[in-house]
Structure 1
Amino acid sequence: MTEINKTPYAHDAPPPPPTRPLEGLYTADVTLVGAGFSGTIAALELARRGLSVALLEAGEIGRGGSGRNHGQCIPVFNYLDPAELPPAGFALLRDSGRMVFDMIEELGIDCAPVQKGWLNAAHSPAGLARAQAAHAKYAAYGKADRFLDPAEVEELSGIPGYLGGWVHRDGGHLNPLAYVRGLASAAKEAGVRIFTQTPLIGITRSAQGRWLLRTPHGEITSRKVGLTTNAYGTQVIPARLRKSIVPITSYAVASERLTKAQRAAVLPSGVNFSDTRRDPMFFRVDTEGRIITGGLVEPRRGRLTEHTFEGFTKRLTDLYPVLEGLQWTHHWSGTVGISARQRPAIFELEDGLWGLVGYSGRGVPTSAALGRAFAETLRDPDEGAKLWPSESPARIVAGRAIGLAVQGFRGTINKVRDRLES
């Protein structure tokens, strides 16, 4: 049976920590709004530094983008540049993939983590040049070994015909719902007061300079507030933050569990896989033996379930004939936030009111780095700037229309570019 707008993650994830809605009056040094990857990591870091922290979530833990993630940790970023970032921030982002799995081990999070690396395979001569350039960059940062020849790519992926490739050793995958629930459990154990089913309905500043956050059945006052809703902010979130990103709808699909023979053929090394096509081809096999893949919603692919399933069955069967007749069980979507500079951004909206947005589809590794940077900024803005400088929100006019235009034309344009490169 196909489950629409549902992920398979809940079938395998441990339950979230016990929480309840906010009722009554509370005070905290810092209140965070949005209990996804960033909110839970920032809350945990602040509590470890001795601050009293409240964390508000409009639904349940993992309801938003974090629990709907593709579950891939791909620590590869166009903006990873030592000339653009402070040294400490560069190192934080460079090591973000390793940090994810170190944190999982440290906190004992049961989220099916697999860190066998991320394989980028070159499908054409032009793709080979791009892969070689990316490899040179990350090899210089100590994150990749030598460039792979076609036989080595086939050994890792089970796919013949690629021209070469490379592996980012810190890449991997996990159950994102289990991961965010585990982060929330760790934050709660550290003393964070987590309130779920608690939508924010108002935020104002008092004459004494404290922030008052109103919810349907209670209020919290705080010296500082961190907004970590990213692309899931409601109208209560200041427009300066909401309009600083372009929201784009992403989708994912999950297959039935592979047979023993199929599992032996598909990504036998356990790596995450992407190739260099402009029309992205990326997928992973989770620990339950399901293929999980997806992309940005297009006019048909990602929007029409049967069309999407048929397309991925064909694409994957072309790579692995053993997958002939592959069936799909889940199709869901989420919202990605793209900032004006296409990199995560920390904004000070008003004195003591901060926002963090714009992961551009790299939520697992970037949240590990930016969650820490955001916590440090909320604790001490000068120290936080040494990790990730804050900036003024860019007002993106007609951001939603831009997102729809990207989704409407990007797929077609990329398919044409791939044909021209072949």
Structure 2
Amino acid sequence: MILEPPYADTAPPAPDSTPLEGRITVDVALVGAGFSGTIAALMLARRGVSVALIEAQEVGHGGSGRNHGQCIPVFGYLDEAVLPPEGFALLRDSGRLVFDTIADLGIACEPVQKGWLNAAHDAAGLDRARAAHAKYARLGKAGDFLGPDEVTELSGISGYVGGWVHRDGGHVNPLAYVRGLAGAAQAAGAALHVRSPLTGLERGREGWLLRTPGGEIAARKVGLTVNAYADAAIPARLRQSLVHMRSYAMASEPLTEAQRAEVLPGGVNFSDTRRDPMFFRIDGSGRIITGGLVELRRGRITAPTVAQAGRRLAGLYPALQGLGFTHHWSGTVGVSAKQRPAIFELGPDLWALAGYSGRGVPTTAALGRALAATLVDREEGARLWPHDAPTRIPGGTLIGFGVQSLRGPWNKLRDRLGRGASAAKERTTP
């Protein structure tokens, strides 16, 4: 079993970059070359702002190169009463923005935008799916609600009672995507330095001084785009403003031609309405990519994780009986106190963007742009996304461990209770 994702197997190489050496002076320094850092760097460079982006490891080393690759632009915090109008529109269209950006920049990242299918597994799930569909249909992001036969046609699975498709959903090779963004930022004029971990951050009279093992950057403004991958050099008030949880992902062996014809023939991403949902996609090599939050056993120990995923997939597709898995890896998810992405003001001209809650592909497309605007003009940025003060979350480590350990078992129990209630209702219904 390979303990890293297979994305590097097909991703184009990262842009050429070397560690920072010596001293440079820029308008803005960004720390962390993931989705948000590379998008912010690209937006700033396009506006004529001198910008340097440093990365402790390699481009996409953190969550941006380790996630499931799904673009699911569905958010509980997409709320016109909370977000400014421009920010609401930006987040609403974030899925489309991902794929438009890929097309505009010519990024070779196996993009597929055929929608995200949410399939209802029972009557209660049908109610939840209808409510979500109504919200996104009003926004022009969904067509008609689907009946059982239409769900089967798209998914290849029978037995679901209905569902809907978010038109802007899809999937990418996330490592290839972030490498493409980094190359575009570099081509636009941003300075990119990998293998340059931040070792010091100091405020001076004329701005900020960032130190790395081989050099230093003098910058008027700083944006921290490390999300949940912050180390001790990052201000504690950012690290303590997130709940950290571990997620896992798995990749199967490539499907055979016959299996591929049966599994997700509509090309959509799949997720159902179970409390413990089954979600997966098929990558450009014909592998099934699936996963979830790490629990006490599932996601942490490979053998039971593979066994359970195999049983669940074979239950949906008999043709997948005996399917082998070749890759099993994990990453870190950051959740803010408000359970939405946050642009934190950490000090004078010191900003941070974090807390994607597992929706990093679409949220960073919107929030990377909002951070770039903030680093140019705070009022412009505030029109795109609220600025939050960092909020220390007491016991954040314990909360994260508890949620990821107990959430899955609790949700599986709720699903079993729900099935029992549905069966009892059917027996008593004339």
Q: TM-score, length-normalised on structure 1?
A: 0.99
* Residue number among 223, 242, 250 corresponding to 2:247 in the alignment: 250
- Deviations along 1:239-273, whole A, 9 cap, x unmatched? 11110000000000000000001000000010000
Secondary structure at 2:124's aligned position in 1? helix
* Residue number among 220, 231, 234 corresponding to 1:237 in the alignment: 234
Distance 1:42 1:281 in 2: 33
Distance 1:205 1:16 in 2: 32
Distance 2:406 2:351 in 1: 34
RMSD: 0.5
Give the deviation of 1:209 after TM superposition: 3.0
1:344 equivalent in structure 2:
341
**AA matched with 1:148:** L
Give the deviation of 1:389 after TM superposition: 1.3
- Deviations along 1:60-99, whole A, 9 cap, x unmatched? 0110000001000000000001111111000000000000
Distance 2:384 2:418 in 1: 39
Aligned residue runs from structure 1 range 3-42, under 5 A: 3-4=2-3, 6-42=4-40
Distance 2:23 2:398 in 1: 40
Distance 1:45 1:280 in 2: 36
Q: How many residues are treated as equivalent by the alignment?
A: 419
Secondary structure at 1:231's aligned position in 2? coil
- Deviations along 1:184-228, whole A, 9 cap, x unmatched? 00000000000000000000011x231000010100000000000
Q: Bigger shift: 393-402 or 172-181?
A: 393-402
2:86 equivalent in structure 1:
88
Secondary structure at 1:247's aligned position in 2? strand
Give the deviation of 1:280 after TM superposition: 1.9
2:53 equivalent in structure 1:
55
Distance 2:275 2:126 in 1: 13
Distance 2:39 2:192 in 1: 13
Distance 1:299 1:140 in 2: 40
* Residue number among 193, 196, 199 corresponding to 1:201 in the alignment: 199
Secondary structure at 1:232's aligned position in 2? coil
Give the deviation of 1:401 after TM superposition: 1.1
* Residue number among 30, 42, 45 corresponding to 1:44 in the alignment: 42
**AA matched with 2:2:** E
* Residue number among 324, 330, 335 corresponding to 1:333 in the alignment: 330
* Residue number among 236, 239, 264 corresponding to 1:267 in the alignment: 264
1:211 equivalent in structure 2:
208
1:74 equivalent in structure 2:
72
Distance 1:250 1:62 in 2: 16
Distance 2:197 2:371 in 1: 22
Distance 1:420 1:310 in 2: 23
Q: Percent identity?
A: 69
- Deviations along 1:9-38, whole A, 9 cap, x unmatched? 000000000000000000010000000000
Distance 1:222 1:401 in 2: 36
* Residue number among 371, 374, 382 corresponding to 1:374 in the alignment: 371
Distance 1:148 1:394 in 2: 42
Distance 1:210 1:323 in 2: 58
**AA matched with 1:137:** K
Distance 2:361 2:348 in 1: 29
1:394 equivalent in structure 2:
391
Q: TM-score, length-normalised on structure 2?
A: 0.97
1:220 is aligned to 2:217: yes
* Residue number among 410, 418, 421 corresponding to 2:418 in the alignment: 421
Give the deviation of 1:177 after TM superposition: 0.2
Distance 2:405 2:58 in 1: 32
2:111 equivalent in structure 1:
113
Q: Bigger shift: 397-406 or 312-321?
A: 397-406
- Deviations along 1:357-390, whole A, 9 cap, x unmatched? 1000000000000000000001100000000010
Distance 2:31 2:173 in 1: 23
Distance 2:206 2:126 in 1: 56
* Residue number among 129, 132, 142 corresponding to 2:130 in the alignment: 132
**AA matched with 1:25:** R
* Residue number among 282, 298, 306 corresponding to 2:279 in the alignment: 282
Distance 1:140 1:173 in 2: 24
Distance 1:256 1:29 in 2: 47
Distance 1:308 1:268 in 2: 26
Unpaired runs of 5+ residues, structure 1, are none
Secondary structure at 2:136's aligned position in 1? helix
Give the deviation of 1:287 after TM superposition: 1.5
Give the deviation of 1:325 after TM superposition: 0.6
Give the deviation of 1:398 after TM superposition: 1.6
1:165 is aligned to 2:168: no
Secondary structure at 1:55's aligned position in 2? strand
Give the deviation of 1:408 after TM superposition: 1.6
* Residue number among 397, 401, 405 corresponding to 1:404 in the alignment: 401
Distance 1:274 1:91 in 2: 25
1:291 equivalent in structure 2:
288
Distance 2:147 2:89 in 1: 29
Distance 1:164 1:420 in 2: 21
